[in-house]
Amino acid sequence: MMKMKKSVLSKRIAVVVLILLSAAFPYLGFSPYYLHLVTLSLIWIIMTEGLNIIQGFTGYVSIAQASFFGIGAYASSLFVLKLGWTFWASLPVVLIIVAIAGLIVGYPSLRTQGHYFSIMTLAFCMVLWLLMLTLHNLTGGEEGISQIPPPEAIFGIDFTNRVNLYYLILIVTLITIFIIYRIKNSKVGRAMETIRENEQLAQAIGISLVRYKTLAFVISAMFGGLAGCFFAPYMRFINPSTFGADYSMNAILAIIMGGSGTIGGPIIGSFVMNFLPEYLRVVESLRMVIYGLLLVLITIFMPQGILGVVKQVSAFVMKKVTKPKDTDTDTKKTVA
């Protein structure tokens, strides 16, 4: 019991330290480029934490997350640029649109299983990507949409300032992580995990497969759309190249690398997927070869992801640290 309390306390301390470091990051002396990479990683965390609901919690691999990411980015941009809405007014409307799109795609797709489900989500991703390319009057085609304004000021905070925008995205990311954490530890989350482990057992104990799988897919899509809503004003430019199937595959890999079905896994995976390619630029000609090889090795030799390895190492260290104390206590008891 004492060990469990210490473990919970250590996790809470680690979370507080990470939040404080994230809050202090813009003032730690790093170049603006690193602030850019961290901000992109935070947007990725929103997207991958959402994807983790259908992939990690429920056990269905969706290749449509980039599509919902794109719907969020394009819809919010078009509302602002074409209709003259504010970013904040468009945000809830865009999330409703993404939820409806998730319901339309998810309801028939989730009647299949395994690779058939993945193929159907891949088909949706490819169709939407082609629409983004061909609907020039709406999406700008390959040229995309430029001069997307940042969110309007709140309480006098100007989001044209990149540091202020970083803090806004950080707050949204922390709220996302908290919501995902509550879902995971709720009745809904446990039902999803039961479906992942054994659908027949879940159905036998009264869990509605259609209801919970569809709910997982819609929530996943909404977080993908939410990430897109902040990606567009942050980058100030979007085009279809960011919303293809390869982007979805990278999001899936981020979850697998970090640790599928965990809260921390998508966080670690998102940072790896954004920072690793940049660090490999020093070997430009072999960059993608080394990158692909590392992904394969991590996937094969770290089946529980990087977070799983971290947990194993920390458990080993804690065991080694606490063992001498336990031995000394036993010796004192024997002498007494």
Kindly write down the DSSP assignment for every residue of 232-293, as one continuous string: HHHHSEE-GGGGSHHHHHHHHHHHHHH-TTSSHHHHHHHHHHHHHHHHGGGGGGGHHHHHHH
Task: Say how far apart CA 199 and CA 192 lie, in whole Å.
Answer: 10
Give the residue carrying structure tokens 């977070």. Answer: 307
DSSP category for residue 112: S
Give the end-to-end CA distance of the chain in Å, rounded to a whole number: 25
In a domain, 6, yes or no: no
DSSP category for residue 157: B
* Full domain range(s) for residue 104: 35-243
In a domain, 250, yes or no: no
Task: Say how far apart CA 105 and CA 66 lie, in whole Å.
Answer: 13
In a domain, 76, yes or no: yes
DSSP category for residue 152: P
DSSP category for residue 56: I
pLDDT tens across the length of the chain (336 residues): 555 566 677 778 888 999 999 999 999 988 899 999 999 999 999 999 999 999 999 999 999 999 999 999 999 999 999 999 999 999 999 999 999 999 999 989 988 877 889 999 999 999 999 999 999 989 988 899 999 999 999 989 999 999 999 999 999 999 999 999 999 999 999 999 999 999 999 999 999 999 999 999 999 999 999 999 999 999 999 999 889 888 898 899 899 888 889 999 999 999 988 988 777 776 666 666 776 777 778 777 777 778 877 777 777 776 777 665 554 555 445 544
> Would you tell me how many other CB atoms lie within 10 Å of the CB of residue 194?
17
In a domain, 152, yes or no: yes
In a domain, 199, yes or no: yes
C-alpha gyration radius of the chain: 22
Number of domains in the chain: 1
In a domain, 200, yes or no: yes
Task: Say how far apart CA 71 and CA 228 lie, in whole Å.
Answer: 7
In a domain, 331, yes or no: no
In a domain, 272, yes or no: no
